Structure 1
Amino acid sequence: MRNKIINGDSNERLKELESKSVDLVITDPPYLVNYKDRIGRSIANDDNAEFVLPVFHELFRVLKQNSLAISFSGWTALPEFSDTWKGAGFKIVGHIVWPKAYASAMGHTAYHHESAYLLAKGFPKKPLLPISDVQSWHYSGNRYHPTEKAVEIIAPLVRSFSKPGDLILDPFSGSGSTAVAAALAGRDYLGIELEERYSRIAERRLAGVDRYKTRQRIAA
C-alpha cells in the first residue's frame, strides 16, 4: 500500500500493513493537551491517551529493522509518550528543536519551541552529514489544520533520513504535510487520518503536487 491517504483509525488500519514494510515514520500525533486554537478549532482525541499511544506499538511492528520513527511531542505528556515508545521497543536516539518567534501558549514560561524525537528500531545507519538538532521554524499559518506543520519543516527530515523510493508513513497525517514533503522529494508515502475533512484536504494537496511534478517533467 503506497501513495495513498487512508481515512480511518490508525489503531485498526495499521493492522493491514505487513510487518517491516515501512522505511521511515514521520508523525505529529495529538499532544494529549486538549488543544484549542485561537478560533476554537480542536484536535480529535487530543485528550485520549488510550487512542493515541497504542499506535506506536503498531508502528514498531510495521517499521523495518534498523529504521527510524520521528515523532513530534509536547513536553506536558512527554513521560507518557516516552514510556510508550520504550514499551513498544524504540530507543530514543535524538531530539530536534524548532525555536519559534511567537509563543504557542503560556504557563510558567512562554512556549517558544517545538520538539521531535528520533526513535530507533534496532541500529539505523547514521547520515554522513547529520542535520543540526536545532532547525529553522516555518509557520504554516494553520490554514488547513489547527496544528499544521509546514512542509518546509518536514522536508529536511525526509531528505536526511530516507532515500528516493522509500516508503514514509504518517499515522496521524492531518492535512498531509508529511505526505506532501515525501512526494516532492521522490519518496512514496502513506498517510492515515481519522477525520475525513482533513483526509480530503491532504488528497487535494497531493493532487497539486502531482500537477506540479507533471509541469516540471514537461518543462524539462
Structure 2
Amino acid sequence: MKQAIPLRNKIVQGDCIDIMGNMPARSVDFILTDPPYLVRYQDRTGRRLINDDNAEWLAPAAAQMYRVLRNDSLCVSFYGWTQTDRFITAWRAAGFRIVGHLVFRKRYASKARFVSYMHESAYVLAKGRPALPANPPADVIDWVYTGNHLHPTQKPTAILKPLIEAFCPPCGIVLDPFCGSGSTLAAARASGRAFIGIELDHGYFHMAGNRMAA
C-alpha cells in the first residue's frame, strides 16, 4: 500500500502523476489547473515549459486528478485550443463530464495569425453530480494582465479567486497539479481555502514557495 503524504497547504516538487498517485483517493475538494498546452510555447524572452512538447503525461494525469477529487466535485482546467480533442479525450477517458466552458477576454492580442488571439479558455469538468453553485460565475470573464513576470503563462489571481469561491466549499482543499508560480495557491489562500501545489520545474517550484511564504 502506498504511503499517504500530508500535503495540506504545501507545495511539492516532482512529477504530478507520481505525487497524486501517493495521495489518498477522494482527498481534494476542487482542482484548478493550467497544464502545458502541447504547443511548444516560447515567450518573447525565450522561456519554455516542461512537457509542452509531448502528450504522454496528459491521460495519466487526468486519471489521477479524477481519482484524488472527491465525488460530486468539480475541476477547472485551462487547455490549448489547438489540442482540444486531445484534452477532451483524456478527460472523458478519466471519467470527467464537461459541464461548462469559460472564456477569459483580453484587451490585447497575445499573438496574431489568421485571427488575433485575445482570449484564454478553460473547461469546467464534473466528477459525479456536483451541486449547483449558489453564485455561478459568468462564462465570460475579463482578463487581468500580470505582465508574466513570474511565469511565461502566469494566470492572474483575480480571475481564479471567483472560481474557487464558486466551486470549492468553504474550508475545502484546492489542488493544482501544474502550479507554476503558484497563482492558484495564492487565490485559494485569499479565498480561505487550503491548497496543494505540485510543480515539476525546480525553478518555478521555488518561486511558488517564495511567493506563498511572502
Question: Which of the numbers 108, 111, 115 marks the counterpart of 2:114?
Answer: 108
Structure 1 position 3 matched with structure 2 position 39: no
Measure how far apart 1:74 and its partner are.
Answer: 2.1
Q: Which residue of 2 aligns with 1:62?
A: 68
For 2:52, the aligned partner's letter is: D
Match of 1:190, SS state, is strand
TM-score by length of 2: 0.95
CA distance in 1, matches of 2:98, 2:107: 27
Equivalence map 1:1-220=2 (5 Å) = 1-208=7-214
Per-residue CA deviation, residues 132-189 of structure 1 (Å, 9 max, x unaligned), is 1011101111111000001111111111111221010000000000011111111000
CA distance in 2, matches of 1:69, 1:62: 11
CA distance in 2, matches of 1:104, 1:12: 33
Contact kept in structure 1, 2:58 and 2:90, CA below 8 Å? no
Gap runs ≥5 in structure 1: 209-220
- Which structure is higher in helix share? 1
Per-residue CA deviation, residues 37-79 of structure 1 (Å, 9 max, x unaligned), is 0111111110110023420100000000000010001210000
CA-atom RMSD, angstroms? 0.9
TM-score by length of 1: 0.92
Contact kept in structure 2, 1:175 and 1:199, CA below 8 Å? yes
Q: Relative to structure 2, which stretch is displaced further, 100-109 or 68-77?
A: 100-109
List structure 1 segments (4+ residues) > 4 angstroms apart after TM superposition: none
For 1:85, the aligned partner's letter is: W
Aligned residues: 208
Measure how far apart 1:85 and its partner are.
Answer: 0.5
Per-residue CA deviation, residues 69-126 of structure 1 (Å, 9 max, x unaligned), is 1000121000000011101000000001011111122222111110010000001111
Gap runs ≥5 in structure 2: 1-6
Match of 1:50, SS state, is coil
For 2:17, the aligned partner's letter is: N
Identity across the alignment (%) = 49
Contact kept in structure 2, 1:45 and 1:52, CA below 8 Å? no
